[in-house]
Structure 1
Amino acid sequence: MSLLIREASAMAFRLCHPLRCSSFSPVHVRKSILARKFSVRNQILEPIESQKLVMEIKEKLERDHLSLPLGKNGRDDEDMILWFLKDRKFSVEDAVTKLTKAIKWRQEFGVSELSKESVESIAETGKAYVHDFLDVNDRPVLIVVASKHFPATQDPTENEKLCVFLIEKALSELPAGKEQILGIFDLRGFGPENADIKFLTFLFDIFYYYYPKRLGEVLFVDAPFVFQPIWQLVKPLLKSYASLVRFCSADTVRKEYFTEETLPMDFRN
């Protein structure tokens, strides 16, 4: 790293020497060097350095949060620690804070206890499922059929369990080297009786806090006019995830996201 900084300093001096570039002051040179230094730091983090940060977090969690569980998705899960480090731009303190919250949530929600049998009754409604095939970008696909969601008569707790179970299932189907999933909200036939701002907020909240950067894109398919005021209410609550949303048609889904063989049955007509 020090070699890179020395080279950056030499380059900045050559480019901005008074005889060559009188418009640059020493202040500009110093700023250029600092910018280059931080650019290198943010873009390239050696595996050895990353591992040191992972071990630092493991030790900190063991020291300060001994009650947190061990094992997969626990306080000693190095893959999970590294993922949250990347999400928090390699800030140890920020990663520890977010990671601790995520592990506690998983424990309290009972994520490890969710199974196909435990969500079977709500899953039979067909309101949400993980598609059998990947999209053209090799992403697992989570599909929500909004017209089958009835918040007035369906148990919200069961809805949340199904949601988390399907997210876990989609992530378990990630191909090697892939990190994100595609979410599709099929809004065809959506009506006021299907509106559920609380659940939509819950969905994006868990992606933000507990599955950061796992959602690559969200498609809102054939959104009717009645959905627009709901979107205007929810959009400010979604934070950075609002930028992942794309309003599109069912035809766009067919042509841009799947092949004829991998197209979901709901989009074949």
Structure 2
Amino acid sequence: MVLVRTLSPTIAYPVPLLNPPFRTHLAVRCCNLSSQRQTQLHSRKLVLEVKEKLAKEHYSLPVGRNGRDDEDMILWFLKDRKFSVPDAIFKLTKAIKWRQDFEVSKLTEETVKVAAQTGKGFIHEFLDINGRPVLVVVGSKHFPQALDPADDERLCVFLIEKALSKLPTGKEQILAIIDLRGFSTENADLKFLTFLFDVFYYYYPKRLGQVLFVDAPFVFKPIWQLVKPLLKSYASLVRFCSAETVRKEYFTDETLPSSFRD
């Protein structure tokens, strides 16, 4: 408070001041909201710019969900390319064309039935403790010569699509568990492992939150040394761990995959 003097020099009256922190807090909050709003408007502007360019320059691409006018997909690829419009368009057109050629929209439980029956890959019924859908690959059940590689690739993409469809609100990434218990040289498939990471990098960017290589045997190490340089930044997502780590750090007793129960 301050003292206000009257005409008489001997009398002073206390006068309370307004609380400065209140004004400061309000100003900071308004500034944050304004900044957030500006970011949203800028993102929206770039989405529309990409959408317009795709319509003019790549009009033959399909429209609709996961098509050239899918604004959610456009925004995702803009984020992946640090909001560079040319880079986002380049990667996005490649992804949309791939989805069209691969016929992703036609993949069903029936079309991947043969490969799925091997048990080599599936989506776990529960989320992990971080709220992520879980894709499980069982290395010991994969025999490269047993099926047409295209069947394995279709199963892989079908499972990724299924995992993404299970994303809770506010979640954006999935967890991949590569179970290498019982893995041997006859299960080795460098081509398929490269395909798996390529699919995530080019067509599902930043959807893979982490990859767990569980109980990798000695024979897997040379394969990893060959594929690691090809993965670039995705190699940092890989964690070699034990089945015990999976049990303790990624699931509860109720949500643990049955294959990891004692």
Normalising by the smaller structure, the TM-score range is 0.7 to 0.9
1:104 to 82, 97, 101: 97
Matches within 5 A, 1:1-269: 46-269=39-262
Shift of 1:163: 0.1
- Provide closer, same or farther for how the CA distance between residues 242 and 45 of structure 1 changes in structure 2, counting only shifts above 3 A: farther
Which whole-Å CA distance do the structure 2 matches of 1:45 and 1:161 have between them?
Answer: 41
Superposition misfits of 4+ residues, deviation over 4 angstroms:
none
Larger deviation: 116-125 or 244-253? 116-125
Q: Structure 1 counterpart of 2:82, which letter?
A: K
TM-score under structure 2 normalisation?
Answer: 0.85
Q: Bigger radius of gyration, 1 or 2?
A: 2
Q: Structure 2 counterpart of 1:56, which letter?
A: E
Which whole-Å CA distance do the structure 2 matches of 1:76 and 1:179 have between them?
Answer: 20
Residue in structure 2 matched with residue 9 of structure 1 by the alignment = none
- Structure 1's unaligned 5+ residue stretches are 1-42
- Provide closer, same or farther for how the CA distance between residues 60 and 201 of structure 1 changes in structure 2, counting only shifts above 3 A: same
- Provide closer, same or farther for how the CA distance between residues 44 and 214 of structure 1 changes in structure 2, counting only shifts above 3 A: farther
Q: Structure 1 counterpart of 2:226, which letter?
A: L
Which whole-Å CA distance do the structure 2 matches of 1:121 and 1:211 have between them?
Answer: 24
Q: Structure 1 counterpart of 2:135, which letter?
A: L
TM-score under structure 1 normalisation?
Answer: 0.83
SS of residue paired to 1:46:
helix
Shift of 1:152: 1.6
Shift of 1:70: 0.3
Which whole-Å CA distance do the structure 1 matches of 2:140 and 2:147 have between them?
Answer: 13
Shift of 1:44: 9.3
SS of residue paired to 2:155:
helix
Which whole-Å CA distance do the structure 2 matches of 1:254 and 1:264 have between them?
Answer: 9
Which whole-Å CA distance do the structure 1 matches of 2:123 and 2:228 have between them?
Answer: 24
Query: Identity of paired residues, percent?
Result: 74
Which whole-Å CA distance do the structure 2 matches of 1:268 and 1:87 have between them?
Answer: 37
- The CA deviation string for residues 135-181 of structure 1, in whole angstroms up to 9 with x for no partner, is 00000000000000000222100000000000000000000000000
Which whole-Å CA distance do the structure 2 matches of 1:53 and 1:72 have between them?
Answer: 19
Which whole-Å CA distance do the structure 1 matches of 2:199 and 2:227 have between them?
Answer: 15
Which whole-Å CA distance do the structure 2 matches of 1:192 and 1:105 have between them?
Answer: 31
- The CA deviation string for residues 212-269 of structure 1, in whole angstroms up to 9 with x for no partner, is 0000000000000000000000000111110000000000000000000000011013
- Structure 2's unaligned 5+ residue stretches are 1-35
- The CA deviation string for residues 23-50 of structure 1, in whole angstroms up to 9 with x for no partner, is xxxxxxxxxxxxxxxxxxxx99611110
